[in-house]
Chain A
Amino acid sequence: MPISREYLIKRLLLLALVVVGVLVITFVITRVIPARPEFLWAGPHATEEQLKRARQELHLDEPIHVQLYYYLLDFFKGNWGVSWRTRTPILNDLFTALPATLELVIIAFLLASLIGIPLGIYSALKYGGLADQVIRVLTVLGASMPVFWVALIFQTVVGTWTKLLPASGRVDDYLAYETGFKPVTGFYLLDSLIQGNLPVFIDVLKHVIMPALVLAIYPLSLSSRMSRSLMIEVLNENYVRSLEVWGIPKRTILLKYALRNVIVPVIASLGLSFGYTLIGAFMVELIFVWPGLGYYAGMSLLSYDYPAIIGVVVLVALFYSFINLIVDLIHAWLDPRVRL
């Protein structure tokens, strides 16, 4: 179903509005609420002079709308402030960390969808039976577990006690150094393949599998539950019953009609799932020492590096909105019922 130009433009405008909204909200959080914001912004060992300069730079003595203007301007110019711990701009730090997180989140998300959705559909087909019950209990359990706890338990049992998989990190530094591995895209799995470096590829795989699995548990449970209830709905639709009555074989019904109507809303709901995965990544990265945005955010929180925390929050929020837009567009494209 082609997407009309008007719809696309409308959505992009909406995205722009959301971006501004996110920035306004963080502006309120960082400038309006704290009593002396320049303390939150001034660098290490801030002298009286530096504090004065901070006040100037942040335009703190001017009316709020002027401050807001400069705040927005700064963000769009790419001046997201400087982390207290380094002298480097936060935006640079974030872009260095981003590919690591993407690698982890994408793998986790793939695992969650490729396992969760079929599981949910299967469960719906076997409605009321033992398989259904077991799957439902497992997925409800999965949706109730705190990801940080699961991560700790897995890491301790699989990594530290039994040493089946590496307990932390992204790659073995020695191996990388000895085989001359150089990150190009930032996606180590891709980079190692591009460079034909099989040992590092396998090593990275070994490092990524545990955090990805742990991270996948919540969205997996979520998508399983969602697919299940959607599938049940579809199976009870009158048209499906009619098809049954007319004698069309079950398999055809499933593949040609039911599935199509389930996949689309499930994909639409993956957006929310993605949000939870992102946040789960914060804690998983922290525990597994995976050097992505989550690790950066976690360490910033640990040292109360305030500008860095806000930087991460803004980036993740923007990224999330963007992904949601994509998901909505895909949904609209796939679903003939949506009028654009």
Chain B
Amino acid sequence: MVALVIVIIVGVVAYYVVTPPGGPTTTTPTTTPPPTKMIIYASLSEMTTADPSTEFSNSVMWLPLVYEPLLWYDPITDTFIPALATNYSSSEDGLVWTFTIRRGAVFHDGTPVTSQAVKLSIERTIALGQGAAFIWDPVESIETPDNYTVVFRLKYPAALDKIAATAYAAYIFSPKVVEYAGASNLTDPKVADWFNSGKEAGSGPYKMVKWDPENEVVFEKFADWWGWRLADYPMKSDNAPDVFKIRIIKDAVTQETLLLSGAIDIAMYVPLENIEQHQRNPNLQVVFKPSFQNLIMLINVKKPPLDNVLVRRAIAHAVPYEDIVTVARNGLARVASGPVPYGMWGHFDNLTFKYNLSLARELLTQAGYPSGINRTLILTYTAGDIYEARTAQLIKSSLAQLGIDVEVRPLSWEEQWALAQRGWEDPNAAQDFLIFYWWPDVVSPFTYLYNMFHNASKIFNLCYYENPDFNALIEEAVTLEGIDEARALQLYYMAQKILHDDVPAVPLWDMIDLRIARAGIGNLDKAINPAYPTVVFAQVLDVRR
């Protein structure tokens, strides 16, 4: 009797399981919503803040969908694409830059985009002075002679077009946020709180409709975006998705699983060993793009015995660069040559270190450590990143052959960074090696060289390197970027040569970016731009479902 009941239940359940959803027996709801085209893009990290002036981290993934800068930059072709500025010009001495603002652009609340909005947005960013605000350092003043013209006067020459196209700190938002936030002025913290509560005041092709920074952020098409109406605008598609969702999935295996099951559409992190398999899968597409993201191992140059340059050089020759690329990235990276990544102006190919254990041993002996180092060195990396994890393991194995014992410690980024910060007061309290990624704000070698090696940059110069000659070189180079490129390049080379001799850090590999998506999504290649790391420009995608 019981058996019969069980059989019936199993039968019923089986029938429903086998029937696809929406099959013959299901009743469709009376008002069928029009098929919305939705794209789900997986993010490895949670979204950080939502303030377009100060955000300097993971939220870069969606800021270019909701907000717009004056220009977009394509480093591959070294061209600029007009965004909120239709054209621009600069004076001969590079000190005055004039931008013409697009007519017909509106913010999501309906107010038109004017030069005053541009001025106020940038001034707020400068005033708050956080995140990547430093990119506007060269700016002395901003004038708005009329509603659609902005004039920048600079203290010293700089490539303002590149600066205005940066992925961070260059977004324009509606000055009405003061009203919405109930604040007294733009720099009032209430405005930042308003942004971070999940509100936005952008002019871009998408509006933010849901803000759950740890799980998912959802965007819907902004019907009144000027770009949809422009027939031949390069950064838009007539079949762009109606809804774009960013889902936080903190693990590569999970991203892959969800992608294969169709639960998400685009992923950036999947186990690289499976890439070949996915390339052969007709339901998927794999797109490779050069990336300006690289992995660097910073060395604590103030903690003995690492304060001895011979020891550091020895270590640089004991890192198995090729093997690391093979094992950690399955070949999807280039061995680094200097801290400036391949493909960027300012990169030089002759700054590598040869993997040579006998040379390393010689150097160590010269330094006075013939049989290795007798304390355990601590290497930290960001927990959860398998590429960093594998890189760390290989470095550990290799250094062990020199008699150097390394303890590999995965930490959350916060802890890792906090630990390293202590090194400014007490170098012995911090770790010996810190492995992390760097990627550019303004697309220029300066961001790499300044942030990690200039002693005024306490936040990320976590090797505690202090070299006034080096500082002088890069400070001069950056001002010459807009005027005398050849000379700037020379200076950058000399600066990197110093780093190559001093070894405050060992650049490991330059990333090759990839996205894996289901095959039906068009223009994926166009939607990826190394100057805007992790971004998929949804407005460019061609989706037919």
Quick check: do A and B touch in the complex, using CB within 8 A?
Answer: yes
Q: Which residues of A contact B522 (CB under 8 A)?
A: none
Contact with B along A132-158 (1 / 0, CB 8 A): 000000000000000000000001000
Partner of B415, one of A39, A85, A88, A299: A39
Q: Which residues of B contact A173 (CB under 8 A)?
A: 38, 40, 245, 263-264
Q: Which residues of A contact B49 (CB under 8 A)?
A: 87
Would you call B412 an interface residue if the criterion is a C-beta within 8 Å of the partner chain's C-beta atoms? yes
Contact with B along A27-40 (1 / 0, CB 8 A): 00000000000011
A85 to B49, CA, bound (A): 11
A179 to B27, CA, bound (A): 11
Taking a contact as CB atoms under 8 Å apart, the answer to whether B17 and A206 are in contact is: yes
CB distance from B284 to the nearest CB of A (A): 14
Would you call B257 an interface residue if the criterion is a C-beta within 8 Å of the partner chain's C-beta atoms? yes
Q: Which residues of B contact A299 (CB under 8 A)?
A: 250-251
* Contact A39 B261, CB 8 Å, known A86-B46, A202-B21, A303-B412: no
- Closest chain B residue, CB of each to CB of A118: B2
A8-53: which residues lie under 8 A (CB-CB) from chain B? 39-40, 42-46, 51
* Contact A44 B411, CB 8 Å, known A39-B418, A160-B260, A202-B21: no
- The secondary-structure label for the interface of chain B is loop
Q: Which residues of B contact A305 (CB under 8 A)?
A: 412
Q: Which residues of B contact A279 (CB under 8 A)?
A: none
CB distance from B87 to the nearest CB of A (A): 38
Partner of B33, one of A84, A167, A180: A180
A206 to B19, CA, bound (A): 11
Number of B residues near A (Cβ < 8 Å) is 47
Would you call B94 an interface residue if the criterion is a C-beta within 8 Å of the partner chain's C-beta atoms? no
Taking a contact as CB atoms under 8 Å apart, the answer to whether A289 and B414 are in contact is: no
Q: Which residues of B contact A88 (CB under 8 A)?
A: 213-214
Would you call A224 an interface residue if the criterion is a C-beta within 8 Å of the partner chain's C-beta atoms? no
* Contact A46 B418, CB 8 Å, known A177-B38, A303-B250: yes
Taking a contact as CB atoms under 8 Å apart, the answer to whether B16 and A202 are in contact is: yes
Partner of A84, one of B27, B263, B412: B412
Would you call B468 an interface residue if the criterion is a C-beta within 8 Å of the partner chain's C-beta atoms? no
Q: Which residues of B contact A45 (CB under 8 A)?
A: 414, 417
Taking a contact as CB atoms under 8 Å apart, the answer to whether A46 and B414 are in contact is: yes
- Closest chain B residue, CB of each to CB of A38: B418
Contact with B along A165-205 (1 / 0, CB 8 A): 01111001111011110000000000000000011101101
CB distance from A158 to the nearest CB of B (A): 12
Partner of A178, one of B33, B40, B264, B417: B33
A28 to B196, CA, bound (A): 34
Taking a contact as CB atoms under 8 Å apart, the answer to whether A168 and B257 are in contact is: yes
Would you call A221 an interface residue if the criterion is a C-beta within 8 Å of the partner chain's C-beta atoms? no
Interface residues on A, range: 35 or more
CB distance from B65 to the nearest CB of A (A): 18
Would you call A227 an interface residue if the criterion is a C-beta within 8 Å of the partner chain's C-beta atoms? no
- Closest chain B residue, CB of each to CB of A203: B21
- Closest chain B residue, CB of each to CB of A291: B215
Q: Which residues of B contact A303 (CB under 8 A)?
A: 250, 383-384, 412-413
Contact with A along B462-484 (1 / 0, CB 8 A): 00000000000000000000000
CB distance from B254 to the nearest CB of A (A): 5
Taking a contact as CB atoms under 8 Å apart, the answer to whether A168 and B261 are in contact is: yes
* Contact A289 B258, CB 8 Å, known A45-B414, A302-B251, A303-B250: yes
Would you call B282 an interface residue if the criterion is a C-beta within 8 Å of the partner chain's C-beta atoms? no
Contact with A along B446-475 (1 / 0, CB 8 A): 000000000000000000000000000000
Would you call B243 an interface residue if the criterion is a C-beta within 8 Å of the partner chain's C-beta atoms? yes
Partner of A289, one of B196, B214, B249: B249
Would you call A103 an interface residue if the criterion is a C-beta within 8 Å of the partner chain's C-beta atoms? no
Taking a contact as CB atoms under 8 Å apart, the answer to whether B415 and A304 are in contact is: yes
Would you call A271 an interface residue if the criterion is a C-beta within 8 Å of the partner chain's C-beta atoms? no
B241-261: which residues lie under 8 A (CB-CB) from chain A? 243, 245, 249-251, 254, 257-258, 260-261
Q: Which residues of A contact B40 (CB under 8 A)?
A: 173
A331 to B36, CA, bound (A): 53
Instruction: Find the residue from B27, B214, B262 having the highest chain A CB count within 10 A.
Output: B214
B461-511: which residues lie under 8 A (CB-CB) from chain A? none
Would you call A275 an interface residue if the criterion is a C-beta within 8 Å of the partner chain's C-beta atoms? no
Q: 13 other contacts beyond A86-B214, A173-B40, with CB at 8 A cut-off?
A: A40-B415, A84-B414, A159-B261, A166-B261, A169-B258, A169-B263, A172-B21, A172-B263, A179-B29, A180-B29, A202-B16, A304-B412, A306-B415
Query: 13 A-B pairs, CB-CB below 8 angstroms?
Result: A44-B48, A44-B413, A46-B421, A84-B412, A85-B214, A86-B46, A169-B261, A172-B262, A172-B263, A173-B264, A178-B33, A303-B384, A303-B413
Name the 3 nearest CB pairs between A and B, nearest first: A199-B21, A304-B412, A86-B214
Residues of B bordering A, CB below 8 Å: 13, 16-17, 19, 21-22, 26-27, 29, 33, 35-36, 38, 40, 45-46, 48-49, 196, 213-215, 243, 245, 249-251, 254, 257-258, 260-264, 383-384, 410-415, 417-419, 421
Residues of A bordering B, CB below 8 Å: 39-40, 42-46, 51, 83-88, 93, 155, 159-160, 166-169, 172-175, 177-180, 198-200, 202-203, 205-206, 289, 291, 299, 302-306
